[in-house]
Amino acid sequence: MTPPAHDHEEQIAQLLVGYGRCTVLLALLIGLLAIYPYFQTWHLGRLVLQVLQLTTILIGLYAVAGRGTSFKLGVLLAATVLGFYVHRIVTSGPDFLYGLRYALNIAFYLIIIARLMVYLLRKGAITADRLHAAISIYLLAAIAWAMAYSIVLWADPQAFVFANRPPDNTSPAFYHFLYFSVTSITSVGYGDITPVTDQARSLAILEQLFGLFFMTVLIARLAGLYPQQTEAER
């Protein structure tokens, strides 16, 4: 027997106003993106951002994985990344561990993305919390790709062309790549940052494909909200 139409309307409304474990993660991610430009220009501000970023991911990981192996591995990676970052600030020297720090950050993000994907694709009704998990995956993937772009630029300073490079010709900040990553995963592409090496272009292609694939999966899951009509109802 097919549930009444008003039940489905209530379910859809609950998606818009409901909340759950992943709602906190989504709210923290949005807040982090909003404050990033105001803290990235000074050392202490970047340290605060790093701590907030790692704390946000640990909260999300705990929400979906509890105190299991994934959470313990996440704590270990977070502590290692933070240690590298503090070492850079204290020594005031060149960041020889720049690539490794970002690589560990990416591994950290991949763990929670994988856990959230399992939660999202698990059999069951789509709830507000699962919808928030889906949006969180999208944002986490964009941040992880921004870190990958940073590693590519660190390895090859000519990997990207910037239409609006800083006047003092300093190396572009991570936030520039976060901006580029979001425009890539959403297939907007303003063109002010252009990958010019094969490695950089390959990363951009993979991110665009991920964005398309993920939206396809999300739409397929949301389609489950609408039950198939019987012949009598048509």
For residue 16, what pLDDT is reported?
A: 52
| CA atoms of 113 and 191, how far apart (whole Å) | 28
Alpha-carbon distance 76 to 132, whole Å?
26
Q: How far apart are the first and last CA of the chain?
A: 15
Q: What is the pLDDT of residues 49-98, one digit of tens each?
A: 888 888 888 888 787 777 778 788 888 888 888 887 777 667 655 566 77
Alpha-carbon distance 101 to 83, whole Å? 9
Q: What is the pLDDT of residue 1?
A: 46
Where the chain has pLDDT below 50, the residues are: 1-3, 5-6, 8-9, 12-13, 167-168, 229-234
Q: Write the DSSP string, 96-137.
A: TTHHHHHHHHHHHHHHHHHHHHHHHHSSS---HHHHHHHHHH
3-state DSSP assignment of residue 193? strand
Closest CA to 210 of 138, 152, 160, 151: 138
pTM comes to: 0.83
Cα(191)–Cα(162) distance, rounded to whole angstroms? 9
At 139 the pLDDT is 94
Report the Cα 40 to chain-centroid distance in Å.
18
Phi, psi of 207, deg, nearest 5: -65, -40
User: Kind and range of the H or E element at 162?
Assistant: strand 160-162
Percent of the chain past pLDDT 70, that is, above it, reads 80
The tokens for 45 are: 């501000």
Beta bridge partners of 193: 162
Residue 33's CB is within 10 A of a number of other CB atoms, namely 15
Residue 141 to residues 9, 127, 146, Cα–Cα distance (Å): 31, 21, 9
pLDDT value at position 136?
92
